[in-house]
Amino acid sequence: MRRRLRLRRIFTTPALALAFGAFALLMSQSIADAPTGFNTPTGCPPVPAVDNRGAPMTITSCPTTTNGPNGLVPPTGITSFAEAQEAFEEQEPLAKGLGPVYNDKACVNCHQNPVSGGISQITELRVGHNDAFGNFVNPNITIHDGNGNPVVIPNRSLVNDRAICPQAQERTPGSETVRTFRTSLNTLGDGFVEAIDSNTLVRISQSQPGQSGGQIQGLFIQVPVLEAPGQVRGARFGWKNQHASLLSFASDAYLNEMGFTNPFNPTDITTVCKTTTDPEDARDGNGISDTDRFTFFMRATNAPPIDAVLAATPDAQAGSQIFNAIGCAICHTRSITTAPAGTVINGGAFTVPAALGNKTIHPFSDFLLHNVGTGDGIVQNGGPDSQNRMRTPPLWGVRTRDRLMHDGESETRNEAILRHAGAATFVTNNYRALSTTQKQQLITFLNSL
């Protein structure tokens, strides 16, 4: 019942009017594949030069590209894509506001493979417990103020691995028996993901029962848009679909992963050992914060490219057909077209630009929540029905990942596929029935993505 109510809510009369308007706009614009490429090498590459005596030397020089790799023009107050990438890669100092509890010092430290914005093997720790009725409960984590007095960090499933002083260090209480790691996700191409119309995700969800004999239907949820108070939108970012906009995602990550208060999350998790003034990521004279720079960086990146040479091999092409035939593509949706340029999204806070609008992407994800038997037991924005569901991870760029599934606990493609259960049981059984050659062809296809 909860799912049906959510689906009806998005198709109110005004929403239908917007959808028909968007369809008319779509028909008036041409559709092209989104650009792809690993175009954000981390750091400034060495370039040849000569010193003042004419001797050869190498220096580092960052590019001064104004627009992003996908052509996105920076907003007023950000001079160039290079400026945004530099902010994404900056190692944050204690004096600027790092902590008091945090996981790492820069966005790039968790999103770096093979270039800035990519995936990684880095994990975060989530914990909690279930009450007597099986409902998930966020923990209260006790730290100390340095004088022996307990200080409680309340109602938060994230346990940070690091702190700026020993008394602020979080530790998992024995009472928190729901525990999981979560790997860092790829952010390359996420500007196109943000530009997907929420109704498109609803339609994908509604089409899945018919493709699976009623066994699969992704859960579509709507979540608050931090930059548009009171507004909600179809979720698509995070392992639990915690966010619908990249600005909301950047703000949340800056606070929870690095401890930086910012315009949309202005209060620290704890003040133990804190010496800076909130918000630590304050807007400058142009109204721009680092949170805005992170957002522009992610919006402006290209989608991950395929390995075209491997994809053209007979084995990979056969594996691609097997991927469809056994049911993988029901959830790992191959192609989605973004909303038309000019579409207003994120509760009115962002208008889809030409660089992101009317682009066909190949994410191999439906960006919905599914129970495939690997749920982490954590509830965030999705309500009780999401407790054992995870967002379908996009498979674009998966060839650059060596630790698979949400917790990174599967090391091979074969192990990751066999871990799928729940609604995906029949797909996994189809995989088991393949010959050894067919299984390897499917894995070759996955290694081309």
Q: How many domains does the chain have?
A: 1
Pick the range with the lowest mean pLDDT from 1-10, 137-146, 350-359.
1-10
User: Where does residue 422 fall: left (phi above 0), alpha (psi -120 to 50 degrees), or beta otherwise?
Assistant: left
The answer to whether position 126 is within a domain reads no
Is residue 62's pLDDT more than 80?
no
Domain coverage including residue 243: 65-120+179-446
Considering only CA atoms, which of 272, 240, 267 is closest in space to residue 256? Answer: 267
Across the chain, mean pLDDT equals: 91
Write down the pLDDT at residue 53.
55
Write down the pLDDT at residue 30.
85
Distance CA 117, CA 39 (A): 10
The answer to whether position 50 is within a domain reads no
- Confidence class of residue 65 from pLDDT cuts 50, 70 and 90? confident
The tokens 């800076």 sit on which residue? 276
- Confidence class of residue 43 from pLDDT cuts 50, 70 and 90? confident
Distance CA 421, CA 429 (A): 9
Distance CA 368, CA 202 (A): 9
> Is residue 246 exposed (0-12), middle (13-18) or buried (19+ Cβ within 10 Å)?
buried
- Contact between 75 and 355 (Cβ < 8 Å): no
User: Is this prediction's pTM over 0.85?
Assistant: yes
The answer to whether position 210 is within a domain reads yes
Distance CA 196, CA 192 (A): 7
How many Cβ atoms sit within 10 Å of the Cβ of residue 367? 26
Task: Provide, rounded to the nearest whole percent, the portion of the chain with pLDDT above 90.
Answer: 87
Per-residue pLDDT of 421-445, as tens digits, reads 999 999 999 999 999 999 999 999 9
What is the rounded average pLDDT of the residues 96-123? 96
Query: Which amino acid makes up residue 326?
Result: I
Is residue 106's pLDDT more than 50?
yes
The answer to whether position 198 is within a domain reads yes
Write down the pLDDT at residue 18.
42
The answer to whether position 377 is within a domain reads yes
What is the rounded average pLDDT of the residues 378-384? 95
The answer to whether position 2 is within a domain reads no
Query: What one-character DSSP code corresponds to residue 346?
Result: G
Write down the pLDDT at residue 45.
58
Per-residue pLDDT of 234-264, as tens digits, reads 999 999 999 999 999 999 999 999 999 999 9
Tokens of 120: 């990684």
The answer to whether position 397 is within a domain reads yes
The answer to whether position 314 is within a domain reads yes
> Is residue 64 exposed (0-12), middle (13-18) or buried (19+ Cβ within 10 Å)?
exposed
Pick the range with the lowest mean pLDDT from 5-14, 242-251, 326-335.
5-14
**Strand ranges (DSSP E) for 110-177?**
123-130, 136-137, 141-144, 150-153, 158-159, 162-163
How many Cβ atoms sit within 10 Å of the Cβ of residue 449? 24
Tokens of 324: 């469809």
What is the rounded average pLDDT of the residues 405-431? 98
Per-residue pLDDT of 12-24, as tens digits, reads 333 434 444 444 4
Q: Higher model confidence: residue 6 or residue 38?
A: 38
